[in-house]
Chain A
Amino acid sequence: MKNLQELVETTPNLQQLLYNNPTGGRFWPNVPPEFSNWRDEQRGWRETVVLFEQSYHMTNLYVRGPDAFRLLNYLSINSFQGFQPGQAKQMVCVSPDGYYVGDAILFYLDEHEFVIVGVGAIHNWVEYHAHALGAQVALERDESSRVDPRRPRTCYRFQLQGPNARPLMEKLTGGRVPDIPFFHFTYIDIAGHRVGYLHHGMVGVEGAELWGPFDELQAVKGAILEAGAEFGLRQVGSRTYATNALESGWIPNPLPAVYTGEQLRPYREWLPATAFEAVSSLGGSFVSDNIEDYYLTPWDLGYGRLVKFDHDFIGRAALERMAHLPHRKRVTFVWDERDTVRILSSVIEKPYGHNYKYFDLPLAQYATWMYDAVLNDAGEVVGFAMWTGFDVNERAVLALGTVRAEYAQPGTRLRLIWGEPNGGSRKPSVERHVQTEVEVTVGPVPYSEPSRRYRETVLHRRG
């Protein structure tokens, strides 16, 4: 098998292939599972300040050259009007048919120089199109440490988040935190090192993303930890890290819509059979033989406000056609407490073979792309839960997902199927189990009130 196209052609059932791929749901290399304990680490971003260690799990793709701006604009649903060095964007790419392929943070570093920082399929997509379109760009790819944990990275990357992030930043900069708008960045000095500073809030209050040369990681982190002691700074381990998305509302793991469509055949031929798109796994209770049933539109994922028809981009025509159709909405599904306890307890209360899918606290993901079916009273699938975990701050299991608009009203009661059919797939992360239903209540995104308030302020300020 040489490439993804061959794999798609020779596989009788692509969904089943991905559903049984051996990749599990844990992808945060090089960071200890816990520094203290995940309960206190989650509380840290609500009550004091936390340090997220983001140096390892993401891929950086540097795009440099005279065509960089045009290329990236052509691949993004986002408007690039007024986009300048010193600004960042959440870049979203869709297929020619208008379905989600990937998203990441795009930093406009300098004239003709960008870096795309994130997980998933977006880096492959950009790399391919740079070649296929003959763009005058040079690419430098700094792959996620999942592939080779010991390889040095191009840069370190931390975030400081929580109510004490601001005072900590003030201490670190000697009271001179640059006054820049949300998602703008500049450079500051920490302990004699030049450090990139992005104004970014993930958990409901103003926070900071910081980066610099990888060999300065220890020095800068050491200075932050020392300064942070008086503000109750907590380091967040890999068990806790990914649960912050539950509060901020970002869905990290939609399936990239690249498996079908004649137009994408050359892309699939370019993608090796070992690519992320080929070896990652589908999981959860939603099962359909039609892989396109897993595809999602930008609106389904809450990116509708990013779609701007002020430029030409891949997927534009399709999105223009879709724009006025009904869309799913991104929501938070809040698990019923009794059902949650029943599932946590089934390892003890149920005999062998009758247990429910084990819920690993605090993050319950057991595949790359999780799709749990959410049903209405008639038993129709009306949505998917895609990112599920327990949050101490909300004292609830929260699941980020998407649901048909008529069910998206906060307070709507729906049912979610937990676990995979027929005893479970062959993914090694899946033990034999039976399915069970969970009552869920639809809630807003972001779910946490501080995040919601902050987001409104930021959007308001940006007009």
Chain B
Amino acid sequence: MSGGIGFPQRDQWQNLQDIIDTVPNIVDYLYNNPPGPYLTAFTVGISPWVPPEFTNWFEEQLSWSTGVALFDLSHHMTELFLKGPGSLELIARLAVNNVTRFVGRRSAQLVFCNENGFVIGDVVAYLLDDSTIELVGFESAINWVQFHAEQSGIEFTRDDLTPLNPRQARKRYRFQLEGPQSSRMLEKLIGQAVKVGFFEAQDMKIGDHDVLVLGHGMAGRGFELSGPYDEYHEVLSMLLEVGREFGLVRVGRRAYRTTPVVRGWFPSPLPAVYTGEGMRAYRRWLPTSSYEAASSLGGSFYSPNVEDYYMTPWDLGYGKLIHWEHDFMGRDALRELSRRPQRRLVTLVWHPDDVVRVFRSLFEVWPRYKIIELPLLIYSRWHYDTVLDKSGKGIGISSYVAYVANYRAVLSLASIDADFAVPGSEVIVVWGEPHQGSRKPNVEAHAQILVRATVAPAPYWKQSLDVGSPGKGAEK
């Protein structure tokens, strides 16, 4: 029964709750779903907006360490604009964050939890003007906020990711400059010295264009620029023009999608919305085509209990964002959870010999392991691989995984027990799905393999030398 095939009731399904009420187990359903439009549009699908590569993904990755990279974020995320009185109160009620700080800096990474303290999603938020809040991110968070905005009668506009956007045009363009040359390049664009803190947004002018500039990047050497979509082409050509002297490299979607493992940002936890009576109304509101119903779960971690996939803010490295001094959804539960031991977000550096063993198995009849595709290894929207200690005991999950040429390594983001979350400690990642793999179409029949990995901090850029660091090129 892959992704709904074999369910005669399928035609009558109207929302996520209908699916849950019909299928024997929602985990099995999601585990056999096709990757879904939200993943395929930007990995295996056709996107006329951002090509897979402008040059080659390998050198596009290197550019953010050695020069300056241009990322185009205008198309793959969904936006929600909240307007008028009540919108800030709504954010305060839903987000774990300190909203006063958000208002002061005009930007924040907002994290939303359910009543039990498990994460539903996160977004980047901007205060565009006194009465407009812009939320940018994946649908898990956008849907959740929109649902509550509707309930509270707050005015909003939704702008879907471009492949699923009926207008195929957007409200805002969004570019990022990343790398050691990004400050100099931005100063040249603005015509004056720039000082903007991490997750701080300021209005600036590039030529005649009003641009919202956000401090955002690895090692404080990156910026995001956004503005009205009508000005997309003009701003892009100015970036390309000015970028010439700084060796600006345009980054395609193959390389761009590897940035989360370097930034230490966990892009896709399973939203904690599939259980709980309190969430029933929300599940009835989510259509069968929604991100929550139509995306795929995958990887070696499998549990019939969907709640085993839920994550706490600490699991994802968001513990420090929790602002206890206000009332927000999930606060009481989080208070309880905070007294228990927490998992930690770390980076796992995969052992090169084990990666090579997977490459070598291409030539075997069996065992043939789940292919390691470069540079992005994940094959489902919600990717969960089991992490074991050396005795074979489960100690957490490894999720987003990619090869990064800057470190010449396969890196994954993992959430593991605190005892093991120590740099240098050795763990094991189970690569590949059980029983020769799920029925997701992008999963070929394969065997599982144990991959050794070494724990490193997240974000990885903070502690590791990359090719841009002096002397690194000649090492090894």
Is B365 located at the chain interface by the 8 A CB criterion? yes
CB distance from A360 to the nearest CB of B (A): 8
CB distance from A402 to the nearest CB of B (A): 26
Is B441 located at the chain interface by the 8 A CB criterion? yes
B352 touches A36 (CB 8 A): no
Is B474 located at the chain interface by the 8 A CB criterion? yes
A428 touches B58 (CB 8 A): no
Q: Which residues of chain B come closer than 8 Å to A395, judged between CB atoms? A: 362-365
User: Which listed residue, B53, B360, B473, touches A341 by the CB 8 Å rule?
Assistant: B360
CB distance from A423 to the nearest CB of B (A): 12
B441 touches A352 (CB 8 A): no
Number of interface residues of B (CB under 8 A): 40
**With contacts A348-B410, A431-B56 known, is A396 near B363, CB below 8 A?**
yes
User: Which listed residue, A30, A37, A396, A428, touches B441 by the CB 8 Å rule?
Assistant: A37
In the complex, what residue of chain B is closest to A432 when comparing beta carbons?
B59
Is A390 located at the chain interface by the 8 A CB criterion? yes
B363 touches A351 (CB 8 A): no
Is A344 located at the chain interface by the 8 A CB criterion? yes
**With contacts A341-B360, A345-B355, A352-B408 known, is A431 near B59, CB below 8 A?**
yes
**With contacts A32-B45, A37-B443, A351-B473 known, is A428 near B360, CB below 8 A?**
no
Is B356 located at the chain interface by the 8 A CB criterion? yes
Is B475 located at the chain interface by the 8 A CB criterion? yes
- Point out which of B62, B410, B441, B443 has the most chain A C-beta atoms below 10 A from its C-beta: B441
User: Which listed residue, A149, A390, A429, touches B362 by the CB 8 Å rule?
Assistant: A390
**With contacts A32-B44, A39-B444, A428-B56 known, is A352 near B362, CB below 8 A?**
no
CB distance from A359 to the nearest CB of B (A): 10
B56 touches A430 (CB 8 A): yes
Within 331-367 of A, Cβ neighbours of B (below 8 Å) are at 337, 340-341, 344-345, 347-353, 358, 361
8 nearest A-B pairs in the assembled complex, by CB-CB distance = A428-B55, A36-B441, A351-B476, A39-B444, A431-B58, A345-B356, A348-B352, A344-B359
A237 touches B44 (CB 8 A): yes
Q: Which residues of chain B come closer than 8 Å to A39, judged between CB atoms? A: 371, 444
In the complex, what residue of chain A is closest to B446 when comparing beta carbons?
A39
CB distance from A153 to the nearest CB of B (A): 16
Query: Can you pick out 30 interface pairs between chain A and chain B where the beta carbons lie within 8 Å of each other?
Result: A30-B46, A32-B44, A32-B45, A37-B371, A37-B442, A37-B444, A39-B371, A149-B48, A237-B44, A340-B363, A344-B356, A344-B362, A345-B355, A347-B374, A347-B405, A348-B355, A348-B403, A348-B409, A351-B408, A351-B475, A352-B405, A352-B472, A395-B364, A428-B55, A429-B53, A429-B55, A429-B56, A430-B56, A431-B56, A432-B59
CB distance from B366 to the nearest CB of A (A): 11
Is A35 located at the chain interface by the 8 A CB criterion? yes
B46 touches A341 (CB 8 A): no
Q: Which residues of chain A come closer than 8 Å to B409, judged between CB atoms? A: 348
CB distance from A413 to the nearest CB of B (A): 18
Is A449 located at the chain interface by the 8 A CB criterion? no
Is A33 located at the chain interface by the 8 A CB criterion? yes
Number of interface residues of A (CB under 8 A): 35
Compute how far the CA of A429 lies from the CA of B60 in the bound complex, rounded to whole angstroms.
Answer: 11
Within 395-450 of A, Cβ neighbours of B (below 8 Å) are at 395-396, 428-432
Within 14-43 of B, Cβ neighbours of A (below 8 Å) are at 40
Is B373 located at the chain interface by the 8 A CB criterion? yes
CB distance from B469 to the nearest CB of A (A): 11
Q: Which residues of chain A come closer than 8 Å to B53, judged between CB atoms? A: 429
Is B467 located at the chain interface by the 8 A CB criterion? yes
Could you list 5 further interchain pairs (A-B, Cβ under 8 angstroms) beyond the known A35-B441, A347-B405, A358-B58?
Answer: A34-B44, A337-B363, A341-B363, A345-B356, A392-B362
Q: Which residues of chain A come closer than 8 Å to B403, judged between CB atoms? A: 347-348
Compute how far the CA of A345 lies from the CA of B403 in the bound complex, rounded to whole angstroms.
Answer: 12
Is B54 located at the chain interface by the 8 A CB criterion? yes
Q: Which residues of chain B come closer than 8 Å to A31, judged between CB atoms? A: 46
In the complex, what residue of chain A is closest to B356 when comparing beta carbons?
A345
Q: Which residues of chain A come closer than 8 Å to B355, judged between CB atoms? A: 345, 348
Within 301-359 of A, Cβ neighbours of B (below 8 Å) are at 337, 340-341, 344-345, 347-353, 358
Compute how far the CA of A352 lies from the CA of B408 in the bound complex, rounded to whole angstroms.
Answer: 8
In the complex, what residue of chain B is closest to A358 when comparing beta carbons?
B58
Q: Which residues of chain B come closer than 8 Å to A350, judged between CB atoms? A: 408
Q: Which residues of chain B come closer than 8 Å to A430, judged between CB atoms? A: 56
Instruction: Give B residues with C-beta under 8 Å from A.
Output: 40, 44-46, 48, 52-56, 58-59, 62, 352, 355-356, 359-360, 362-365, 371, 373-374, 403, 405, 408-410, 441-444, 467, 472-476
Is A40 located at the chain interface by the 8 A CB criterion? yes
Q: Which residues of chain A come closer than 8 Å to B59, judged between CB atoms? A: 431-432
Compute how far the CA of A34 lies from the CA of B53 in the bound complex, rounded to whole angstroms.
Answer: 16
B55 touches A349 (CB 8 A): no
A32 touches B46 (CB 8 A): yes
CB distance from A176 to the nearest CB of B (A): 31
Compute how far the CA of A351 lies from the CA of B405 in the bound complex, rounded to whole angstroms.
Answer: 10
Compute how far the CA of A350 lies from the CA of B475 in the bound complex, rounded to whole angstroms.
Answer: 10
CB distance from B409 to the nearest CB of A (A): 7
CB distance from A14 to the nearest CB of B (A): 24
Compute how far the CA of A347 lies from the CA of B52 in the bound complex, rounded to whole angstroms.
Answer: 19
Compute how far the CA of A347 lies from the CA of B58 in the bound complex, rounded to whole angstroms.
Answer: 9
A428 touches B475 (CB 8 A): no
Q: Which residues of chain A come closer than 8 Å to B56, judged between CB atoms? A: 358, 428-431
Compute how far the CA of A344 lies from the CA of B410 in the bound complex, rounded to whole angstroms.
Answer: 13
- Point out which of A32, A40, A431 has the most chain B C-beta atoms below 10 A from its C-beta: A431
Compute how far the CA of A395 lies from the CA of B365 in the bound complex, rounded to whole angstroms.
Answer: 8
Q: Which residues of chain B come closer than 8 Å to A392, judged between CB atoms? A: 362
Compute how far the CA of A36 lies from the CA of B34 in the bound complex, rounded to whole angstroms.
Answer: 9
CB distance from B147 to the nearest CB of A (A): 32
User: Which listed residue, B364, B365, B405, B442, touches A34 by the CB 8 Å rule?
Assistant: B442
Q: Which residues of chain B come closer than 8 Å to A36, judged between CB atoms? A: 441-442
Q: Which residues of chain B come closer than 8 Å to A432, judged between CB atoms? A: 59
Q: Which residues of chain A come closer than 8 Å to B373, judged between CB atoms? A: 361
In the complex, what residue of chain A is closest to B443 when comparing beta carbons?
A37
CB distance from A206 to the nearest CB of B (A): 27
B356 touches A349 (CB 8 A): yes
User: Which listed residue, A30, A340, A348, A431, touches B408 by the CB 8 Å rule?
Assistant: A348
Encode contact with B along A59-76: 1 for CB under 8 Å, 0 otherwise: 000000000000000000
Compute how far the CA of A187 lies from the CA of B409 in the bound complex, rounded to whole angstroms.
Answer: 55
In the complex, what residue of chain B is closest to A337 when comparing beta carbons?
B363
Q: Which residues of chain B come closer than 8 Å to A358, judged between CB atoms? A: 56, 58
Compute how far the CA of A340 lies from the CA of B373 in the bound complex, rounded to whole angstroms.
Answer: 15
A341 touches B364 (CB 8 A): no
User: Which listed residue, B55, B359, B474, touches A351 by the CB 8 Å rule?
Assistant: B474
Q: Which residues of chain A come closer than 8 Å to B58, judged between CB atoms? A: 347, 358, 431
Q: Which residues of chain A come closer than 8 Å to B474, judged between CB atoms? A: 351
Q: Which residues of chain B come closer than 8 Å to A431, judged between CB atoms? A: 56, 58-59
Q: Which residues of chain A come closer than 8 Å to B359, judged between CB atoms? A: 341, 344-345
User: Which listed residue, A33, A34, A352, touches B473 by the CB 8 Å rule?
Assistant: A352
Compute how far the CA of A39 lies from the CA of B361 in the bound complex, rounded to whole angstroms.
Answer: 13
Compute how far the CA of A428 lies from the CA of B352 in the bound complex, rounded to whole angstroms.
Answer: 28
Compute how far the CA of A27 lies from the CA of B286 in the bound complex, rounded to whole angstroms.
Answer: 39
Q: Which residues of chain B come closer than 8 Å to A428, judged between CB atoms? A: 54-56
In the complex, what residue of chain A is closest to B360 when comparing beta carbons?
A341
In the complex, what residue of chain A is closest to B59 when comparing beta carbons?
A431
